[in-house]
Structure 1
Amino acid sequence: MHGDLNSSVLSDALVILGAAGIVIPLFARFRITPIIGFILVGLLVGPYGLGRMVLDYPMLVHVTISDPEALGPFAEFGIILLLFTIGLELSFNRLWAMRKLVFGLGALELVFISMLITAALCMLGQYWTGALGLGLALALSSTALVLPMSGTNNPVGRAALSMLLFEDIAIVPIIFLLGALAPFADSGGMEGLMDTLWMGIVVLGAMMVIGRFALPHLFAQAARTKSPEVFLAASLLVVIGASLVTAAVGLSPIVGALIAGLLIAETEYHTEVEGIMEPFKGLALGVFLLTVGMGIDLAMIWNNLAPIAIAVVSVLTLKAVVTGVLLRLMGARRGTATETGILMSSPSETTLIVLTAATQAMLIQPGTAQFWQIVTAIGLTITPLLALLGRLMAKRVEPAPDLSSFSETRDGQGVIIIGFGRVGRLVADMLTKHDKPYVAIDFDSDTVGQAKRQGYNAVFGNAARVDVLSKLEIDVAPAVILTMDEPVLAQQLTRKLRSNYPELPIIARARDGTHASELYRNGATHAVPETLEASLQLSEAVLVDLGVAVGPVIASIHEKRDEFRKSIKEGGELDYIPKLRTSSAENA
């Protein structure tokens, strides 16, 4: 029995890792989004695909999911990690600045769409309570799919984020409302809602107060170990703990995950947390997409092809039109309104949760719920196609660049300084003096903490991991400056950066001419040897003291520096070094 259980778990793990490691790279090679890949794999290996043939062909048990329901907790964890990383990308200041969009646009979008769907279903004969439950469920859009496609730093992403945040907040009252509308519900339904709301407000307030003081100390201790495993454990502790706390008082766990992300975003450790959590979020989200695919019954779709097709097209069209019109009324340009409306027309993973709640409350029949679950699964599957259609339609209706009120120019955070010791701080001071933005990153928590207290823009992170640097928007950075006094690490990082960002200017600190030559070979744009710069500064000081005019001295220094740099790039010897050694030997 125990052996069978282990075999089942290993078979499921094989399918999941096979999807992530083989199928998804294959889709990426043909420029097809991995989202479709995961869903199609789920369809293939699920109970409505190869899974239904296991009894006839027992060997298929090793390439199918034996218990789809067992993946449910992992799928939910993927959504929790997604909301956590969204919180990391935001901040309380940015969220506060979006409050009008969240509670204005977000509320209007949910209310209008749900009411229109409710009215349409009532006209088709559905009783009003069941129609309301279906309307609220189908009005939701997928946070897990929409935000990874749209991002949050562009007009479409910012508009979508505002609506999705309101929908995530509204999940709890929706679930309670459906319970209160149940045929046998009593007044306890509304009392339970009020209890949840006041307890939730108290808990969220306590989390924000405690988190502001406790999280910097927790991550500082984890950072001092310089162990990725400890830092990962601290990150998971925070996100799981926050999710459990909000779930304990009746709120959705994703609310706790979002708050945890917002709190960490205010610390200097957010970049490292984002980088270290990214692979786990992607894999957990992939499990969620597998479960979506496993819920698609192709036989049922074929037998009800016309009604399902009409339902899918009707819901998507209604949501796209309403969302687009609301955005236009709030001042968005045609391109933004069109693309956002089409992208937001897809249903949500939480639609399945609301449908389950409506069924348990006996507002809709199980057969009706299954029909709309199929519609939801199809909508989730075609979300990447909706994103593509939205971009194409946006270009058609408005070819000009989108400069709406939702826009956020992506200029990056400025020059990236890697290593923030004595040299890094001097570089930061010079950049500040000339009004050039920068962000510094260092793997020493004490160094970063002291820099933050002194007003420097510094974050904690391991710059040897390019995924961490990508969180600093290195792809749009004007330059990267390597100031660490670790020759081998500087060469490795230079080679990695040049490989990933061929056009990026890389200015590196070198110990001497030999080290500078190695850095040039690894792709540095400029390598600055400390020994040569020291000798040039000594020469400048003595010449000025001897009465030589400053202008000619600086010109000769620049000339000599260019001569040294050319020699180093060509890998040649610097003439003055052997001469100094010979002279020294003769004097001895």
Structure 2
Amino acid sequence: MTGFAFSVFSYLACSVLAVFVSRRLGLGSVVGYIAAGVIMGPLLHMTGTGSGYLESLSELGIVMMLFLIGLEIDPRMVWRLRGMLLGLGGSQVTLTIAAVTLAGFALDFPWQQSVLFGCIGALSSTAIVLQTLEERGVLESDGGRAGFAILLFQDLAVIPMLACLPLMATNSHTSAGAHGSNLLSSMPGWLATMTTFGAVGVVVVGGHYLSRPVMRAIARDGLRDIFTAFALLVVVAIALLMSAVGLSPALGAFLGGVVLANSEFKHELQSDIEPFKGLLLGLFFVTIGAKIDLSVLTHNWAFVLAATAALVLIKVAILFPLASLFRLRSSASWLVALGLAQAGEFGFVLLSLGQQIDILDAADASIGVLVITLGMVFTPGLFMILDRIVASLETSRNVSTEVDKPDSGTVIVAGLGRFGQIVNRMLLASGYKPVVLDYRADVVDDLRKFGVRSYFGDAGRSDLLASAGIAKAELLVVAIDDPGRTVEIVQQARAANPRVVIIARAYDRIHHYRLLSAGANHIVRELFGSSVEAAGLALRTLGMHPYEVEKRKNTFVQQDLAGLSRMASLIDDERRVPDNDRFIAGFNDIGRVIQEAMLGRRAQYDEIVSRGWNPPRLDESHTPDQTRQENEKTGAGE
């Protein structure tokens, strides 16, 4: 037990430290786990007694990951993205496999290794790419959606890869035993085939008809811990069954996830399995790093660098023309090409499988791990290159026609998501015709079919705002959901036209203060109004009279807006809000003030509330300065 416990301690300690540093450097968790394995194995030689058990346990992380991917398969989403998914994603995977395989032939690699390298090269890092796209606020753009469709197809393509690669094993014994002991090896061929199909049927039928009643009974009795145990039991049972008949456990887990994707327990399964998947998958990457032979890197560093660069160039050369062929704009095409140019996490899974079936030896697998890891490390650099390219495109004449030149307007709306659509519809219904700017070309095209003056482009660009008429505009509504970008747009618009009235969408209180400093006149917290409405419905459901509910809603809104003004001076940019004692004390004090007001125990309560029943005037706006002035008149700010 001592050796096993020491191995567990070593793995966890190195993982926590390495992943923390890796995330701080922007390299992602996978690189950190691999670095932890390198520290434990090649550097400190800490992989000893007990590491074999941990390695076997870590393979469950792959199984759980495929199970969760199966749970995420939504037929409606797949159908909605079918064009990009099958066309762009399928073409990218097929062409990349062909290109890398031909390169392997040219370098005199065996055909099995060439095909394996092609499969690995066709995949990209889902975790790194999606996280980066989300952080940049471009996940919903044309390029972001195309990248998501490609990544989804790549994840799906892993399933046939895992199923077909064992067929290329260098000997039949290895192929048969690739996934553990095969109970069918002594059976006649026809019986083994029927048993295999029967095992798949058991997964499908059992997942649909047997597991649901059990989960329903467990949920009815409120046995949360047993539900978690049963979820793990389902995954492990599928893996054991698939291994027994010579199939990939990961393939079976994926199939089981797809079967349960429409179950009412889908989200419960996801939340229960996710922590185990993350830990075991991280353990898998640690074991991958521990297998790296640093002497291989020392003697083959030039080849590793050349292979990484070649893979990036091949994928860029394939992705950019394909994205252009699917009518993506140049900036979106470069986003897809450079964003997905690295290899991905599933490449480590395929390398491990390649070793198991004797397609690769330890040295070749180490080189493969180094190439994949180096590509992930280079990903932030690729996005920096993307920024340079996009900046040059925006200033070059060749793409000046790519971004629309909007007509001038007195009202400009930046962003037409769920928030901006409501604003635009109300303006149109009131007789105004705003100029709408959005960076999603499909949204712009759809709006134009309805006669809405919408234009493609980034509202944060000063030249686009100038073309839209910001210098003479009376009103700008910033309705995008990217907090940082919202502040930039407000700053640029205020610099271009000090007189324009700016209404900005705020994410939270802290974003409210940033927008106020940037020059916004009116700031609307995106969930504040709907949350107040929901609270009002809750009070009515609990038996409160509708008139009293409206009074309390109005009081809450007035006092909360007044509190925004009072707390502006408590913001400290150098400290996080949870670490700001003065802000916390002020926030709690405002909470007590609101409670006293809503319970009718504050002076002039009726006078404060009565204003909410009068028709609003144009100059009664929800800005901190005006709210403070009103409070000084009524005594509400005391």
Q: TM-score normalised to the size of structure 1?
A: 0.60
Comparing both chains, which one has the higher relative contact order based on Cα–Cα distances under 8 Å and sequence gaps of 6 or more?
Answer: 1
Q: Matches of 1:111 and 1:192 in 2, distance apart? A: 36
Q: Matches of 2:368 and 2:597 in 1, distance apart? A: 67
2:530 paired with 1:536? no
Q: Matches of 1:499 and 1:230 in 2, distance apart? A: 40
Cα distance, 1:135–1:14 mapped onto 2, change above 3 Å:
closer
Deviations 1:410-450 (A, max 9, x none): 979xxxxxxxxxxxxxxxxxxxxxxxxxxxxxxxxxxxxxx
Write out aligned runs for 1:111-260 (5 A).
111-126=94-109, 129-130=111-112, 132-136=114-118, 138-141=120-123, 145=127, 149=131, 154-155=144-145, 156-179=147-170, 203-204=199-200, 207-260=203-256
Measure how far apart 1:161 and its partner are: 1.4
Cα distance, 1:110–1:21 mapped onto 2, change above 3 Å:
closer
AA paired with 2:369? A
User: Which residue in the other structure is 2:443 paired with?
Assistant: none
User: Which residue in the other structure is 1:312 paired with?
Assistant: 308
AA paired with 1:374? S
Q: Is the CA contact (8 Å cut-off) linking 1:508 and 1:527 kept in structure 2? A: no
Cα distance, 1:212–1:394 mapped onto 2, change above 3 Å:
farther
Cα distance, 1:141–1:159 mapped onto 2, change above 3 Å:
closer
2:29 paired with 1:34? yes
Give the SS at the match of 1:262: helix
Measure how far apart 1:9 and its partner are: 0.7
User: Which residue in the other structure is 1:353 paired with?
Assistant: 352
Q: TM-score normalised to the size of structure 2?
A: 0.56
User: Which residue in the other structure is 1:86 paired with?
Assistant: 69
- What runs of 5+ residues in structure 2 fail to find an aligned partner? 177-184, 395-401, 404-415, 420-480, 483-506, 513-524, 560-591, 603-638
AA paired with 1:167? V
Cα distance, 1:253–1:398 mapped onto 2, change above 3 Å:
farther
Measure how far apart 1:232 and its partner are: 0.6
Q: Matches of 1:349 and 1:107 in 2, distance apart? A: 21
User: Which residue in the other structure is 1:377 paired with?
Assistant: 369
Q: Matches of 1:500 and 1:270 in 2, distance apart? A: 35
User: Which residue in the other structure is 1:50 paired with?
Assistant: 44
Measure how far apart 1:204 and its partner are: 4.1
Give the SS at the match of 1:382: helix
Deviations 1:293-339 (A, max 9, x none): 21222232112222332223223322342344444434455445444
AA paired with 1:353? S
Give the SS at the match of 2:545: helix
Measure how far apart 1:13 and its partner are: 0.9
Give the SS at the match of 2:104: helix
Cα distance, 1:557–1:43 mapped onto 2, change above 3 Å:
closer
2:50 paired with 1:75? no
AA paired with 1:345? Q
Cα distance, 1:159–1:117 mapped onto 2, change above 3 Å:
closer
Write out aligned runs for 1:468-487 (5 A).
none
Q: Matches of 1:192 and 1:326 in 2, distance apart? A: 47
Give the SS at the match of 1:288: helix
Measure how far apart 1:194 and its partner are: 11
Q: Is the CA contact (8 Å cut-off) linking 1:339 and 1:387 kept in structure 2? A: no
Q: Matches of 2:387 and 2:211 in 1, distance apart? A: 44
Percent identity for Structure 1 against Structure 2 = 19
Q: Is the CA contact (8 Å cut-off) linking 2:238 and 2:252 kept in structure 1? A: yes
Measure how far apart 1:246 and its partner are: 3.3
Give the SS at the match of 2:596: coil
2:18 paired with 1:18? no
Q: Is the CA contact (8 Å cut-off) linking 1:137 and 1:352 kept in structure 2? A: no
Between 169-178 and 349-358, report the one with greater CA deviation: 349-358
Q: Is the CA contact (8 Å cut-off) linking 1:42 and 1:294 kept in structure 2? A: yes
Q: Matches of 2:175 and 2:233 in 1, distance apart? A: 40
Cα distance, 1:301–1:16 mapped onto 2, change above 3 Å:
same
Cα distance, 1:212–1:65 mapped onto 2, change above 3 Å:
same
Cα distance, 1:181–1:535 mapped onto 2, change above 3 Å:
closer
Q: Matches of 1:239 and 1:181 in 2, distance apart? A: 28
Cα distance, 1:9–1:165 mapped onto 2, change above 3 Å:
same
Q: Is the CA contact (8 Å cut-off) linking 1:24 and 1:37 kept in structure 2? A: yes
State which of 289, 292, 310 in structure 1 corresponds to 2:288.
Answer: 292
Q: Matches of 1:203 and 1:241 in 2, distance apart? A: 11
Give the SS at the match of 2:264: coil
- What runs of 5+ residues in structure 1 fail to find an aligned partner? 1-5, 52-60, 361-365, 404-408, 413-474, 477-496, 510-519, 538-553, 578-588
Q: Is the CA contact (8 Å cut-off) linking 1:340 and 1:390 kept in structure 2? A: no
Q: Matches of 1:387 and 1:65 in 2, distance apart? A: 33
- Cα RMSD over matched residues? 4.8
Q: Matches of 2:538 and 2:103 in 1, distance apart? A: 73
Q: Matches of 2:217 and 2:509 in 1, distance apart? A: 34
Between 267-276 and 378-387, report the one with greater CA deviation: 378-387
User: Which residue in the other structure is 1:267 paired with?
Assistant: 263
Q: Matches of 2:192 and 2:316 in 1, distance apart? A: 33
